Structure 1
Amino acid sequence: MDITKLSGEARARRSAEMREFLRSRRARVSPADVGMAAGDVRSRRTPGLRREEVAVLAGVGVSWYTWLEQGREINVSGEVLDAIARVLRLDAAEREHLYLLAGLNPPRLPPVTGRQVPDGLRQVIDSWLPHPAYLMDRHWNLVAVNRAAEVVFGYGEDDHNCLVTFFSSARYRASLCHWRDAAQAIVGQFRADAARYPDDPEFGRLAADMCAVSPEFAEIWAEHDISDATRGTKSVAHPEAGELTFAYTTLTLPDLPGHRLMLHTPSSGTDTGEKVAALLGVAVG
């Protein structure tokens, strides 16, 4: 489908339909539906998601999503449309409609999910069981997650970015012990990463989008603190196993510049190892 060959009147109708369709789908999804932390609902004009919330949860820029919802003629990809469809809880027919409105042919098969990870690295992540391990890129997007990280931290298919999940997920927030201290550390780590890539605008975009949807992130970001992400301690209150405490180590990967491998081991003097093994149904080595 070539949207540029449509008449001016047809493009105007398509833009209007895109605008009304996305607004209506956004209005029917509440923050609780997508697991967002509770905010000040009194300031909302509608009970649905705000534009900036859809953008952040889908991993796209707020301005770009606004232009899409306004029906402007912008470049779109199937991957981005699928992310928006996921956030807005579109069914198969609605997803196809979104593709058509954007001027793309709907895919006949479900999209391939996940990013390519070298086989050797994938083996390391999986073999770290029964301890949590995951890989993220320089923008803190989750690239690979092992089963222990899914079970312990609750990472699922809707969690595409560690920073977004930390500040937007009510589930993740409820599970993390000493949330405020962890929030200051993670924002400091993200700011330090942003300084390493001064020519990469994605850091500024992501920070701006997070400030728009999370007053707590905006408050901590304004403090300009810097933290070391090399090692530390992470404690979670698991709904089944109780408190779990890990020491984590961050490894950089020369073959994947900007990527970091996060490896967690049970803190000494705790029963975290036994609890995690029980959750995974494996024997303690």
Structure 2
Amino acid sequence: MSDASNPLGEYLRARRELVTPADAGIPVLGVRRVPGLRREEVAMLAGISADYYLRLEQGRDRNPSVQVLESLASVLRLDDDGVAHLLQLGADRPRRSRRRPRRESVPTGIARLVATLGLPAFVEGRYFDVLAVNPLATALSPRLVVGANRLRDVFLDPAERDLYPGWPEATRRLVAGFRESVGTDTDDPRFIELVGELSLASPRFRELWARHDVHAREGTTSLLDHPVVGELRLNREKLAVGGADGQMLVVYHPDAGSDAADRLAVLASSALPAAKDAAR
């Protein structure tokens, strides 16, 4: 079955393949033909029958109990975000018909806040579209403009890739955050279009998407190699926008007194006058 029709089974299978027998305390005897754990091994460790686990992976049983899901989460070594995602996938809910994607609109107050902040800031939508951005954020990355998509840029634009010395880890977190943002709404037309496009165009995205990693969209430290001011180690905050489902206010800020603070000030001094001239 496809990922859209059987998300619970796809998730269980993907995570099962990432757990080694050694992780689970299972001795390896002879040659194993499958990556990770076998289905019957997962079932045994979770305390359920092998037939029942097979039905879950194949999508023939879609309503496991919370107790079963939590047992599976333990066997599959899921973190808190992974457990929450698994419980969400296993929740009993009516099937919704496909609908046209809604246009995301940034609340007026948030748009004004982004424009007046003296730090690089932008609003990221549910599909990681850039919905609002200030000039300093665009100076940080010219790809940060309204209408751009962070997934497309980070995976498909070489200049954006060069901005991240830790690109492999940055992409891992990005894809895990995207899966968390979409949740169980895998029949969403925009989601299907975006995942299909990136899967065809980027082997790295295809590899990460197959892992089914899930991670909350949250703050972290971001290391950037800027072509003008050099290395910038910035704190990146992601703050949920109230009343706007899935939108996040993203703000970059340096530690006080750091080299990054000085370099960001240099970037601001060149970027902001240019932005004012363009607005005239």
Into which bin does the TM-score normalised by the smaller protein fall?
Answer: 0.5 to 0.7
How far did 1:264 drift? 1.4
Q: In 2, Cα distance between the equivalents of 1:247 and 1:196?
A: 30
More displaced 10-residue stretch of structure 1: 187-196 or 233-242 = 187-196
- The match for 2:158 is 170
- The match for 1:68 is none
Q: How does 1:33-44 map to 2 (within 5 A)?
A: none
Asked if the contact 2:198–2:206 (Cα under 8 Å) also holds between the matched residues in 1, the reply is yes
- The match for 2:133 is 145
How far did 1:269 drift? 6.5
Q: How does 1:76-95 map to 2 (within 5 A)?
A: none
Q: In 2, Cα distance between the equivalents of 1:117 and 1:226?
A: 25
How far did 1:127 drift? 2.1
- The match for 2:77 is none
| Cα RMSD after superposing both structures | 2.3
What do residues 125-154 of structure 1 show as CA deviations (whole Å, max 9, x unaligned)? 12221x210012111111111111100122
SS at match of 1:281: helix
- The match for 2:266 is 278
Q: In 2, Cα distance between the equivalents of 1:168 and 1:190?
A: 16
How far did 1:178 drift? 0.5
Change (3 A) 1:277 1:255: same
Asked if the contact 2:130–2:144 (Cα under 8 Å) also holds between the matched residues in 1, the reply is no
Asked if the contact 1:176–1:236 (Cα under 8 Å) also holds between the matched residues in 2, the reply is yes
SS at match of 2:170: helix
How far did 1:116 drift? 5.5
2:208 is the alignment partner of 1:227: no
Q: In 2, Cα distance between the equivalents of 1:144 and 1:224?
A: 29
What runs of 5+ residues in structure 2 fail to find an aligned partner?
1-102, 271-280
- The match for 2:30 is none
What runs of 5+ residues in structure 1 fail to find an aligned partner?
1-113
Q: In 1, Cα distance between the equivalents of 2:252 and 2:269?
A: 18
Larger radius of gyration: 2
> 99, 106, 116: which one pairs with 1:127?
116
The letter for the 2-side match of 1:251 is: L
Change (3 A) 1:246 1:252: same
Q: How does 1:129-278 map to 2 (within 5 A)?
A: 129=118, 131-155=119-143, 157=145, 160-195=148-183, 197-198=185-186, 200-267=188-255, 270-278=258-266
How far did 1:173 drift? 0.5
Q: Percent identity?
A: 27
TM-score computed with the length of structure 2 as normaliser: 0.55
SS at match of 2:175: helix
How far did 1:199 drift? 5.0
Change (3 A) 1:193 1:270: same
Q: How many residues align?
A: 168
TM-score computed with the length of structure 1 as normaliser: 0.54
The letter for the 2-side match of 1:188 is: A
